[in-house]
Copies of this chain bind each other. A is one copy, B any other.
Amino acid sequence: MPEIHAARRAQAQPKIAENGADAALITVPANVRYLTGLVSSNAAVLLPADGPAVLATDSRYAEAAVRDCPDVELLVERQIEPALAKLAAERGWRRLGFEAQDVTVERRDVLASLDDGPELMPIGRVVEELRMVKDEAEIDLLARACAITSEAFASVLAEVRPGRTERELAILLERTMVDLGAEAPAFDTIVASGHNGAIPHHSPGGRPFAAGDLITIDCGARFAGYHADMTRTVALGEPAGWQREIYELVAAAQRAGVAAAVPGAELAVVDATSRDMIAAAGHAEHFQHGLGHGVGLEVHEAPMIAAKRTGTLLDRVPVTVEPGIYLPGRGGVRIEDTLVVRAGTPAAEMLTTTTKDLLVL
């Protein structure tokens, strides 16, 4: 659908002008995809503040670019960034914005050393800011990614039993997502059992599940480029009092966080809504990561819902809400949904639909 990409480029162009640039060199892969539709590990867009864009990629992706991006001028080059910078200068776009969050010092130095090259200036996160608010077609793709995730989760639950290992479950879950239509897992699946549950980003290993474990499973499918992200913690055998207690606390904090995720809510306030409940129960130091993040063409994207973030949530912004409690040496609980902040509805649109009641397996 080239017209969608053309509309997105038209939205970005005034921001380029506002930043004082004549054109922007867009290199973040998700931004290139967003503006052109091209999926490539080596492509860049030269987007002037006014007028048509130029897409550059190497010969490996030339055929895909011709097919997927018929409405942009195409440059097939080995060294795409210098080629576009030279072209900018030739076209009189002397002030060239670049994405300083992506371009390395080495790559910038190459551009700065070009004869008659443009003047370089950081352009900020112009495209990331546009990407934050999704259109309904994007939300549909994300919803499909989340539906695959929930379905895969349900189908592997029977395999959560004593003796199975974290890694076995992670592999099974990832394969099931692909079998259900995911193009790939959205990120490396986390399965953290027993004391490993105290490590928020535990890499699943050979530890076999045992009765008495809490098991945290953080997974997501990628569908048409969009990333689902969901976490559930389940109990193997009847949970101990402390396990049920932290579970119910995290579940309540998660519900409160979801309820607070409305258009206009300040990011820091949404974070505090969950965090304060956890802190009030004496677990402030056991919840050290942010409450959530945007999801879309990247698994972590704007907005970040965290204590020191400024800014507010907007209509049609998909985010995660994922409080946790991690008790070193003992275990942990995290509960995470992907949902869409919506104006005019009583609550956010929940995309991950697996129950948040504590499942005792």
Contacting residues, chain B, for A105 (C-beta < 8 A): 98, 100, 103-105, 108, 122
Structural contact, A201 and B101, CB atoms closer than 8 A = no
A102 within 8 A of B: yes
Separation of A182 and B61 alpha carbons in the complex (Å): 29
A100-114, CB < 8 A from B: 100-106, 108-109
| Any B CB within 8 A of the CB of A178 | yes
Interface size on A, residues (CB 8 A): 24
As a 0/1 sequence over residues 155 to 192 of chain A, the CB contacts with chain B under 8 angstroms (1 = contact) are 00000000000000001000100100000000000000
In the complex, A199 has a CB within 8 A of chain B: yes
Contact of A178 among B109, B171, B288 (CB under 8 A): B171
Give residues in A with beta carbon < 8 Å to B: 39, 59-61, 63, 98, 100-106, 108-109, 122, 171, 175, 178, 199-201, 203, 288
Which 7 A-B pairs give the minimum distances between C-beta atoms? A100-B105, A100-B106, A60-B201, A101-B106, A105-B108, A103-B105, A60-B200
19 inter-chain pairs at a CB distance below 8 angstroms, sorted by A residue, are A59-B288, A60-B199, A60-B200, A60-B201, A98-B105, A100-B104, A100-B105, A100-B106, A100-B109, A101-B104, A101-B106, A102-B104, A103-B105, A104-B104, A104-B105, A105-B105, A105-B108, A106-B122, A171-B178
